[in-house]
Chain A
Amino acid sequence: MAGRPSILIFWTLLLIPTLILAGVAFRLLSHEQERIRRNSADALLDQARVIARSIDLSLETVQENLTGSLLDIPPGDIEPRLMSWERLNPLVRNVFIFHPEGGLEYPERSIASTQEERQFIDRFSPLFSGRLSFGFNKLSKEGTTVQASSRKKLYALSRETQPTQSTTKSGWIPWFSDNRLYILGWVRQNETEPVYGVELELMVLLSRLTAEFPENSRPGTALVLMDGSHTPIHQSGPLETDGDKTPVGRIMVSPHLPHWTITAFTGKDASGTGQSFLILSLILVGILLTAIVSGGILITRLTLQNIKDARQKTSFVASVSHELKTPLTSIRMYAELLLSKRIKDPDKQHHYLEVIVQESGRLTRLINNVLDFGKLEQGKKKYHPTPFDMVVFLEELIRTHEIRIQNTGLQIIKEFSMGSFTVNTDRDAMEQVVLNLLDNALKYAGRGQFIKFILIREGNDIQVKLQDDGPGIAPNTREQVFKKFFRADNSLTTVQPGSGLGLSIARQMLRDLGGDLTIEPDLRKGACFTIRIPFDETD
């Protein structure tokens, strides 16, 4: 009984660290998961930054090259050159020549001007009417010496062959009209010359930029190029962004596209690798915890089993000693009486001898059981099958033990079916089985009326049933009676002697012989054991 508190302590010692371990593992994992998610969002934003830089660079290059080309036009050739650009260059939507004094020289508003030209003039009317100077925004530059980023300086170095004292001015104007963006580039050779330039074909530019937009195949993410009013222009990435998804970040694209952003979105299944990492880790932690807990359970079960076995063995030794002592005491007492020769009555002498023989028979059976138990446990029990008739066998056995049965006050009832009941089995083992059952019946059903021997054939089996109308066996212990050392009553308080081995040995032997021993499951009164043994077909 000292095992129980120690098991409790063992379990506490096992469970507490296990739970702490699980908690810590889970916390670490969710931290890791969060870190991976953040990393993936950061990586996405980095990619957005790279794309924004590349778009900015492309725009800058386009604009610088266009400015350069505009400045390269010889002054006398401006109009035809610009018109040919407009006709042939996909990046040029409209061209214009504006004289600060004379107003707009080209395109002129006339009956012949196209709708596009009229809209163009209207769109930029503050500039073309002279109300607004071309250099109003800070994106304009003077000469080629501009305050610029190191990259621009590098470009300037690569282009400039000789330092010029030029008075050229140029600039790019992101222009909003009707809430839409237009981009106008202008140059001016010197103060006396007209301002001329081009309007960029924004759609063509976008078309080129989107076709260059790098592929983003990370699941659950999307990079979206959005204009100033957050309308998507181009999307890369499988995540559906319609609805009200909140972006993880917005990167400004370029000062040339004011308020345009590359917006990064992530969805639930964003960090696909992180998700699988979490699942995998949880599985591993789960396996570890299961191993620890099930190991603990196994150890506990084994411990409990050992405690139980030890208790049963103690009880077994006690009962066997008791069993051995009782007949020995009788034998010794009667033998001493006979030896003292004080008993003269021959009837009494005869009775004493009978008791001695009977008690030594009981002793023999007990010892046989213990020996058989040992052999069965080690698998060393040997059988010698011989064919015999079950009816003859039972009749003989009943006749031998008739007196013993009748002494307990039980009536013998025999219900033997007609027909052949030859079996090929170990006769001694069979006898031991039937006697074990009979002993049990005599032991426990002494207050009953009868003991019934039934012999029937069912299929290929012969069944021998021993039924009594005693107190029977409680339903919850019916199967347990076949376990070794088990006793239906508490072995230390019982009035009946016994080792708790008989039924266990009987069943084991019958199973070894190809039969079985079962108990009738639903008998209203008393107990009924069934021996099943195969019918000898060779007969």
Chain B
Amino acid sequence: MNRLLMGLKRHKLLSLAAVAIVVVVSVAIFAPFVAPYSPDVQFPNGISDMGSPLPPNHTFPLGTDLLGRDLLSRMIYGARTSLIVGVVANFIAVFIGTSLGLVAGFSRGILGNAIMRFTDLMLAFPALILAIALAAILRPSLWIVILVIALVNWTWVCRVIYTQTTALIEREYIEAVRSLGASPMRIMVRHLIPHLVPTIIVWGTLGIATAVQLEATLSFLGVGVQPPTPSWGNIIFENQSYFSTAPWLVLAPGFAIIVLALSFNVIGDALREMVDPTRKGRT
């Protein structure tokens, strides 16, 4: 009975997370139709007589920002940025991590060792610091941010895939296809990758949460997506100084970041439990 209740609760959280992701994705795709205004228009009536941002009201549902732009519209377009960066950066990271981990685990020897030592080396850098250093020398833009996030996030995927590959190639069926004369390429693509797909999906989901947060943090520090292109992180960066008088400018995008990252984490975690039944009910 207790178990059932727990399952239901879990389900509720999962469906909430799924709904949140669907909402953010559709809002991002249909931004021009959903957003009440353009994200870049500075409304003369969007600024109070004192020159400060307006609190939420009938014309501007979430209020306006420091330049008199509609916050809701900026956040809707910002969802595009956050999702594009999160999904694309993580896709690249998972691709790099999987390829390197697979090759390292399959070939072992000098090549495999070299790859894994390099991975350890990259893991020695704190992700945020390395990302800042990279962004600082490369002049930030949307694509640079995506690249930088991918470059600091592939290491974990590589470690996990490597460990799994080394376990897989000990199996008898691999020995069988090898003795049948299959080429290394064929073994990797046809016989190893299908077994790694669940892991790739789990990391593909959990990694989006990390990438979304990293983008927001870089943008908040001013080395991420550059204004006027809105992103949830740089909305906070731009409006930080109005925080005491206009807290909604920081709280609304902050809440959005947490909800999106939380949703991907909840779903990724549930997927991990499905993939790895030994962990069910624990941790």
User: Does A pair with B?
Assistant: no
